Structure 1
Amino acid sequence: MTRADRALLVAARLLIAALFLGGAVQKALSPAGTQELLAMRGLPLWLIWPALGYNAAAGLALVLGLALRPVALSLAAYCAATSVFHLQPDDPWQMTIFVKNWAISGGCLALAVAVRPARPG
């Protein structure tokens, strides 16, 4: 991997991390929107707190370069799973977020492939 490739990979990690760290801050400062999505699905409102913790921990792991492959894979699954909260065909904004979640999931899968250790030989 070239120096430029490594720099691009760091930039990708930081950009993805910013999304999840921002999500954690948003959940902390303005939980009502997320809690509304939980309530719409009949889920307990306290689930916002583990989601906030996961967003913060995963984002920080990306920034620090810790456990990148498992974190990226778990983020891909998280984005796919949480996309269902935004599957609201009558709301164009929520549908945009639904599609973006799948795109972010794809980016996390690509990150997981990019950060795996090189095979010898």
Structure 2
Amino acid sequence: MTNLNSNLHVVARVFLGLLFLVAGLGKLGNVDGFAGYMASGGIPAFFAWPAVLFEILAGAAIIAGFQTRLAALALAAFCVVTAVLYHFVPADQMQMTMFFKNLGLAGGYLLLADAGSGAFSVDARKG
């Protein structure tokens, strides 16, 4: 792997991981509000805390390059599920934009799952 590719893997991991790390940390201040939003999509409110912790831990794992393939597959699935449950509203252009944004993110996570973490990662150090 060239240095450029290794550097690009780090940048991609940071960008893809920050999205969920920052989102999860932001939800810590209002988990009850997030639980209500989850319930509006048919997901029981008691899943709010696990979802917030998942976002934080999976985002951090992607950034660090730790268990990258597993974290990326989990986030890809998360993006598809949330796209379908919360954003597939054909009559609402903004929600459809969010729907396709989530699908695009899922595609990015699938590429990361395929490519792996790259040279500068916890996974690479573990061998």
TM-score class normalised by the smaller sequence: 0.7 to 0.9
Percent sequence identity over aligned pairs: 38
CA 1:81/1:53 → structure 2, altered by over 3 Å: closer, same or farther?
same
Instruction: Tell me the distance in 1 between the aligned counterparts of 2:4 and 2:69.
Output: 20
Instruction: Give the corresponding residue for 2:68.
Output: 68
Paired residues of 2:65 and 2:117 also in contact (CA < 8 A): no
Tell me the TM-score normalised to structure 1 length. 0.85
- Computed over aligned residues only, the root mean square deviation of the Cα atoms, in angstroms, reads 1.8
CA positional deviation for 1:82: 1.4
TM-score by length of 2: 0.81
Displacement over 6 Å in runs of 4+:
none
The answer for unaligned runs of 5 or more in structure 2 is: 119-127
**C-alpha displacement of 1:62:** 1.1
CA distance in 1, matches of 2:103, 2:24: 19
Structure 1: give runs of 5+ residues left out of the alignment.
none
> Is the CA contact (8 Å cut-off) linking 1:27 and 1:48 kept in structure 2?
no
Letter in 2 for 1:109: L
Higher relative contact order (CA 8 A, sep 6+): 2
Matched, 1:58 2:58: yes
- Aligned pairs (5 A) from 1:18-33: 18-31=18-31, 32=33
